[in-house]
Every structure is written in structure tokens, then in C-alpha cells.
Amino acid sequence: MHSICSYLISEHCHLVELDLSWNNAREAGAGYFANVAIPYNKTLKVLNLSSNAIGDTGGQFLMSSLKFNSKLTHLTLSQNEIADYTCFVASKVLKKHPSLLRLDLSFNCLGEAGSRSLFRNILRGISCWVIMENCTFFDRTNMYNHSFPSNDNPYTLDLSEPYKAAVLNELLVKYSEDPINCSFEGLTYREEVSKGPEQSISLVVNSRREKCLKGLGRAVAALRQGAHQIQLPAGRECAHDRACDQIQRVGYAHAHR
């Protein structure tokens, strides 16, 4: 896998389609591919990583790395032992990915919660065609429940983990769509898990989308100086994705909901 990745990021690489199925890459290989090949390769459009036993952690890494790649159009991750965590990360990434048209997750035990996350965004109109043939959708414990998110509070989210960042995105979606019945209490962040004091954050809904977008960068910069406010626009056409990405930069969030 190392030699393949080295070639993929070299100036001599002109590959457009690559089939690496049945290569036993496992989690370590998927992590290396996600950190090295996907972010820096500029030519691949079709990638097949099926039947590599990458697991749910490897699936998270691969899906999260897609935010640094704007060329890939087809990705196959079928039969890879991936589950809910990968689905949540995929759901977050696919909402705004500029090029991915087809994602194949067939023959995986995707789980109910993660699949619902994907289905919600499919219904909202993502441009990517998601294939989930011959999957199982079991109910896995300790997963984020979008219907009853209060059941799991308080939330402690390390945003360096792709799944935890995706959960924050889901919470922001929930809040922006129904601010009357949904609220955050005691929302704080700290720069690192074990260092620095916690800082308070408050969220309010702002129906003026343009004003929110323009002020978001200033608001996040102000968060680093103390207790401040982040404004989120109301409705589905909102900036919660961008808000989540900005909050991610502070590295750690402790959210009570």
C-alpha cells in the first residue's frame, strides 16, 4: 500500500481508475491511504476498495479524507465490515462534496442509526448516488439518536474523531431546523482535551443567512478569546455545515443538550 500511495501522489501519476479490491488493506492500510493518497492525488476519478476488511474505523478515515479531494467521482467500499460510524461521516461529507457521484456501501452491516443518517440527507437532495444492497440495519447501542438526541446527553465530543464531528453536525442540523423545541445548555469547548480552560459557547438562530455567513469567521475567531455567540440560520438552507467545520478547528467540544 505504501508504494501504491507513493506513486499516486507523484507527478508521474496519470491514473484515472484504480481497482484495489481484495488486497487485505485492513484498517492500517485504509488509514494510510486516507492520509496520503486521497488528499494529494489529483487524477483518480474511480476507486474500488471493496473487500479489504478496513472496518468501521478505516471507513471513517476514508470518508473523512474525501473533504480534501475534489476529483473522485466513484468510490466502492462494499464488503468491508463498515458500520454506523462510517455512515455518519459519509452523510456529513456527501452533503457538500463537489464531485462524488456514486458511493457503494453494499454487503456491509451498516446499522440502523447510521443508515438513517444517510437516508435523511438523501431525502434532502444530495447529488451522490448511494448504493446499499444486501446490507443489514441492526440497532446498535451507544449510537446517536436523531429522533431523541436528549437521551444521550451530556455529549462530550472530541472533534478529532470523524464520527464525533459528524454527531456535532447532526446536533447543529437538529437545532437549526427546530430551534423552538431544541436547545443547547452548558455548551463549552477547549483547545485540547487535557489542556486549557473550558470556554462557553451559546447558539442562536438567525434567519438572515448572508449575515450569518459573513459573521461566522469573526465569531469563531472571537471564541478563542472567551465566551461568545455563534449565529446559525434557520431552515434547511443553512450554514450548519460551515459552523461545524469552524468549530472543529478549536479541537474539542463539551456539549450539554
Residues 31 and 61 sit within 8 Å (Cβ to Cβ) = yes
Across the beta sheet with 74-76, the strand order is 17-19, 46-48, 74-76, 102-104, 129-131
Within 43-186, residue ranges assigned H as helices are 55-65, 84-94, 112-124, 162-177
The most distant pair of C-alpha atoms in the chain lies apart, rounded to whole Å, by: 55
The pLDDT value recorded for residue 113 is 93
Beta strand 228-232 with 199-205: parallel, antiparallel or unpaired? Answer: parallel
Q: From first to last of the 257 residues of the chain, give the pLDDT tens digit.
A: 889 999 999 999 999 999 999 999 999 999 999 999 999 999 999 999 999 999 999 999 999 999 999 999 999 999 999 999 999 999 999 998 999 999 999 999 999 999 999 999 999 889 999 999 999 998 888 899 888 888 788 888 888 899 999 998 898 888 888 878 887 777 777 776 566 677 776 665 554 444 444 444 455 555 555 544 444 444 444 444 555 544 444 433 434 34
The Cα-based distances of 257 to 152, 154, 183, 186, 223 in angstroms read 9, 6, 6, 8, 19
Residues 2-131, CATH architecture:
Alpha-Beta Horseshoe (3.80)
Would you kindly state where each structural domain of the chain is located, as residue ranges? Answer: 2-131, 151-256
